[in-house]
């Protein structure tokens, strides 16, 4: 069966979706009862984000995921198709408006104003932008529940806009170089700026890149939509390190080091039997950056020996981090940083676990084959390969992976899409972002299984975490 909805007539579908929303609201109410936690409205105007602790309850997350899926499907059902398609086609203006709010430091300027807000004349003054144009931008955002228009041309922060706040004084930000905005501050907005700047501009060239042409047939990180948009022959990761891209490099590093709130470092501990490995077992974190994931593993499982591999400049930064966080591991040799290119052979050693976290999605399939074959050559029969990535689902039912432990998920209730639609949409945006910037991809279980088999690895288990939308999935493979 290709869909959950073909057995329902439109009116029955509307009623079923409404019932899902109503019952899920009741589930949230029950879960929050007697906890003292809240589920606040985005329309509340305030200068600081309200507590999100209520959303951390698993039952609340599950109910919320159903509401998002049902509400978005309900909108698609009742809204006239031309209006839906026009609204979707013009969505790029919303991305641009978010970036304008970031670069004009609107959130920081509004922070101290509280619920009463500030007139756009005051908001625009520090960056000398046209207040009339800024008001139109902020009004579009407020219409999408980002900021609140308290009275004509008077705007205030709300829960959504407040996640863009660096926490720094706006006067300091305005008077320092742009590449220092996120130093000593919260960097979530840096991540969004990367998406809206490099990602959005590159996406505009994706149509020409994907059509049959030399670039469209290319499977390399040298002829991507990014390369076409920015007129460069350098792969993205090389280009962003060019000296003239200092602002973008600083922003990119800040956004991915501390700006993303969608995946806590300790999620690496779930879904894998770390406790089963005895004293001295070696875990190699391949392309592990500064070792933030290995740091979480080391703190929770001190019996393990960690080797973090990456480029030499990155490993130097990693050593600095570990000297602050866990110096004893470095001093004892329990943790080691190793300069290594994962396209080269692995040093000979007995490895218990190879960890590939958010690596394979960066690369085209043939490059992934090179990485995985090197790891397979270095593995013995007891070695496990742990892949942490955004494993995506098909938008239809799929049963071909039924023999892989954990691969099949229980289908959601009708008439929701099998992948829960908008609840999981971030992974599909990420997939196109990988295609656009790197010619990489987020893979389905079937695609990952096929890739691993080519490299003599057998996929034996998949775990998705608690949510369709934000959890990085885990896949475990053994040598064939």
Rounded to an integer, what distance in angstroms lies between the CA atom of residue 195 and that of residue 181? 17
Mean pLDDT of 37-55: 69
User: What are the Cα distances from residue 459, in Å, to 374, 385, 449, 453, 476?
Assistant: 17, 9, 6, 8, 6
pLDDT at 262 over 60: no
Helix (H, G, I), strand (E, B) or coil at 187: coil
Mean pLDDT of 167-174: 96
The catalytically annotated residue of 194, 329, 361, 374 is 361
Per-residue pLDDT tens for 31-42? 999 888 877 777
Percent of the chain with pLDDT over 90: 75
Residue 374 annotated to the active site: no
pLDDT at 460 over 60: yes
pLDDT grade, residue 232 (50/70/90)? very high
Bigger pLDDT: 7 vs 291: 291
C-beta separation of 240 from 437 below 8 A: no
pLDDT grade, residue 253 (50/70/90)? confident
C-beta separation of 150 from 178 below 8 A: no
Tell me what pLDDT residue 221 has.
Answer: 66
Rounded to an integer, what distance in angstroms lies between the CA atom of residue 278 and that of residue 115? 55
pLDDT grade, residue 92 (50/70/90)? very high
Per-residue pLDDT tens for 398-425? 888 889 998 988 888 999 999 999 999 9
Average model confidence (pLDDT) across the chain: 90
Tell me what pLDDT residue 265 has.
Answer: 56
What is this structure's pTM?
A: 0.90
**DSSP character for 286?**
E
Tell me what pLDDT residue 6 has.
Answer: 56
Tell me what pLDDT residue 2 has.
Answer: 43
């Amino acid at each position: 069966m290709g869909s959950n909805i073909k057995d329902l007539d439109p009116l029955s579908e509307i009623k079923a979706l409404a019932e899902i929303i109503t019952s899920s609201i009741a589930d949230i109410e029950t879960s929050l009862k007697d906890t003292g936690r809240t589920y606040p409205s985005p329309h509340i105007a305030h200068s600081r984000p309200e507590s999100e602790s209520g959303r951390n309850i698993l039952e609340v997350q599950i109910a919320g995921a159903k509401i998002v899926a049902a509400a978005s499907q309900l909108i698609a059902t009742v809204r006239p198709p031309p209006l839906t398609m026009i609204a979707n086609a013009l969505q790029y203006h919303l991305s641009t408006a978010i970036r304008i709010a970031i670069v004009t430091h609107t959130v920081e300027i509004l922070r101290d104003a509280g619920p009463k807000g500030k007139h756009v004349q005051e908001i625009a003054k520090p960056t000398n932008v046209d207040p009339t144009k800024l008001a139109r931008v902020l009004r579009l955002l407020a219409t999408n529940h980002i900021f609140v228009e308290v009275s004509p041309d008077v705007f205030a922060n709300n829960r959504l806009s407040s996640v863009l706040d660096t926490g720094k004084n706006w006067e300091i930000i305005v008077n320092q170089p742009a590449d220092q905005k996120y130093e000593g501050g919260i960097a979530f907005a840096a991540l969004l700026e990367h998406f809206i700047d490099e990602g959005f501009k590159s996406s505009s060239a994706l149509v020409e890149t994907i059509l049959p042409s030399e670039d469209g047939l290319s499977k390399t990180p040298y002829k991507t939509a990014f390369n076409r948009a920015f007129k460069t022959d350098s792969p993205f990761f090389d280009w962003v390190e060019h000296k003239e891209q200092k602002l973008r490099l600083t922003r990119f590093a800040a956004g991915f080091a501390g700006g993303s709130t969608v995946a806590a470092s300790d999620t690496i501990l779930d879904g894998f039997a770390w406790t089963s490995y005895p004293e001295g077992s070696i875990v190699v974190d391949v392309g592990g950056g500064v070792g933030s994931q290995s740091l979480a593993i080391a703190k929770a499982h001190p019996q393990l020996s960690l080797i973090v591999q990456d480029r030499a400049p990155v490993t130097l930064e990693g050593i600095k981090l570990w000297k602050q966080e866990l110096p004893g591991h470095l001093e004892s040799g329990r943790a080691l940083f190793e300069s290594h290119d994962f396209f080269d052979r692995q040093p000979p050693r007995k490895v218990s676990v190879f960890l590939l976290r958010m690596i394979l999605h960066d690369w085209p399939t043939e490059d992934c084959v090179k990485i995985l074959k090197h790891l397979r050559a270095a593995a013995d029969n007891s070695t496990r390969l742990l892949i942490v990535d955004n494993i995506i689902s098909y938008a239809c039912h799929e049963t071909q992976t039924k023999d892989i432990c954990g691969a099949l998920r229980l289908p959601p209730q009708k008439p929701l899409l099998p992948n829960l639609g908008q609840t999981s949409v971030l992974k599909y945006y990420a997939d196109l972002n990988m295609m656009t910037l790197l010619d990489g991809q987020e893979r389905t279980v079937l695609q990952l299984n096929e890739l691993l088999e080519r490299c003599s690895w057998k996929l034996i288990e998949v775990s998705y975490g608690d949510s369709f939308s934000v959890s990085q999935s885990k896949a475990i493979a053994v040598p064939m």
